[in-house]
Amino acid sequence: MTVRTSLPNGSSGSSSILTIPTAKVFEPLLRPSRYRAAFGGRGSGKSHFFGELLVETCQAERGTLAVCIREAQRTLAQSSKRLIESKIAALGVGSGFKLYSDKIETPGDGIVIFRGMQDHTADSIKSLEGFRIAWIDEAQNLSARSLSLLRPTIRAERSELWASWNPRRKSDAIDDFLRTRQPPGACVIKASWRDNPWFPSVLEEERQLDLSLYPDRYDHIWEGDYIGAFEGAYFAGMLSQARSDGRIGKVSADPLLPLRAFIDIGGSGATADAFTIWIVQWVGAEMRADLQHLRRWRRSVEQAQSYTFKAVITVIVTGFVGAVWLGIKATLGR
């Protein structure tokens, strides 16, 4: 744990200095970057860090314009507003901030507002062009459309986009952008409950409870891993136990032994599940599964489904246009 201090611009009085204890894992995020991001499991303190950083920035840089973003925000109860208000009180800077029902005014005529990206269009989001900071909390829910609208909109001098989230899938827009593509100017860190010096005992009890009762979802919720199995999946518990025992790893196929394919058709209709093929090989007491090729096959199937859908739509639209044209020709021929 480290302690950082902040002095507002144009101020030299010791009473204006903010002293903020900071977990060591978040230290890289204290440096200015176009993209500052933290992902990980529950209890890591990601949102608390960014809440404090936002208050500190607004206090130090008068006139800061900031927006707190979520994909869906029907009410302010679903926003980060309450967390930021609690940080203002905890840091003892309430005299410089004015709290309203839908916004927070900050020193030097600055402001913090709260928005849901689902409510914005390409035109309406232009209202955020002058904002210097956009903090996306629960960023795993942000759609690719919303991210593509937000990035070029936040373009003021020294503007930054912050993101905090518990990973869900590798294909989610925020993970694809910040963890897979890794754009220049991005500082991205992983934080867990182990990195939190103030991890409360009540959360430790909840963590241990999930570890013992719900091992299939523990790694996702607490360790910040991607969702590995749907809750209630037949073999989720056994696979989780095998992983913790070190019985799952990378192996190669034996060219002298047969390969077997196991197919889960998944059913049909409204209760249908995913169609899955497992390619496995028994080598002594081991069962080896070719998951890498399975992932590639699934991507190919998803792409084929997408192309098929587009082709069907094209045929329907073409047929409709053709029918209309024939109708027009018939009418003019009379």
The structure tokens listed for 149 are 């609208």
Name the pairing type of β-strands 103-106 and 98-99.
antiparallel
Q: What is the pTM of this model?
A: 0.71
pLDDT at 203: 97
The structure tokens listed for 262 are 């196991």
* pLDDT 10s digits, 1-40: 666 666 555 554 444 678 899 999 999 999 999 999 999 9
For 185-300, strand residue ranges (E) read 186-191, 260-264, 276-283, 286-289
pLDDT at 60: 93
**Spatial contact of 67 and 143, defined as CB atoms under 8 Å apart:** no
Q: Is 260 helix (H, G, I), strand (E, B) or coil?
A: strand
Name the pairing type of β-strands 133-137 and 160-165.
parallel
**Spatial contact of 295 and 285, defined as CB atoms under 8 Å apart:** no
CA distance 33 to 247: 41
Distance between alpha carbon 192 and the CA centroid of its chain, in Å?
15
With b for 16 or more beta-carbon neighbours within 10 A and e for fewer, the 278-302 pattern comes to ebebeeeeeebebeeeeeeeeeeee
With b for 16 or more beta-carbon neighbours within 10 A and e for fewer, the 103-118 pattern comes to ebebbeebbbbbbbbe
**Spatial contact of 42 and 193, defined as CB atoms under 8 Å apart:** yes
Task: Tell me which residue of 298, 263, 291 sits closest to 277, measured CA to CA.
Answer: 263
pLDDT at 12: 46
pLDDT at 13: 46
CB under 8 Å to 283, separation ≥6 — which residues? 251, 254, 257
Task: Tell me which residue of 167, 152, 194 sits closest to 39, measured CA to CA.
Answer: 167
Distance between alpha carbon 83 and the CA centroid of its chain, in Å?
19
Domains and CATH numbers, the chain: 2-195 (3.40.50.300), 200-248 (no CATH)
CA distance 189 to 175: 12
Tokens 């867990």 found at = 192
- Edge-to-edge, what's the strand order for the sheet holding 260-264? 260-264, 276-283, 286-289
Give, for all 334 residues of the chain, the pLDDT tens digit.
666 666 555 554 444 678 899 999 999 999 999 999 999 999 999 999 999 999 999 999 999 999 999 998 877 776 899 999 999 999 999 999 999 999 999 999 999 999 999 878 878 888 899 999 999 999 999 999 999 999 999 999 999 999 999 999 999 999 999 999 999 989 999 999 999 999 999 999 999 999 999 888 899 999 999 987 555 565 666 776 777 787 777 777 888 888 888 887 766 666 566 677 778 888 887 777 766 555 554 454 445 445 444 544 555 555 556 666 666 666 666 6
**Spatial contact of 167 and 39, defined as CB atoms under 8 Å apart:** yes
Q: What share of the chain is helix, strand, coil (3-state, %, to 5)?
A: 45, 20, 35
Distance between alpha carbon 199 and the CA centroid of its chain, in Å?
22
CA distance 155 to 161: 10
* pLDDT 10s digits, 132-145: 999 999 999 999 99
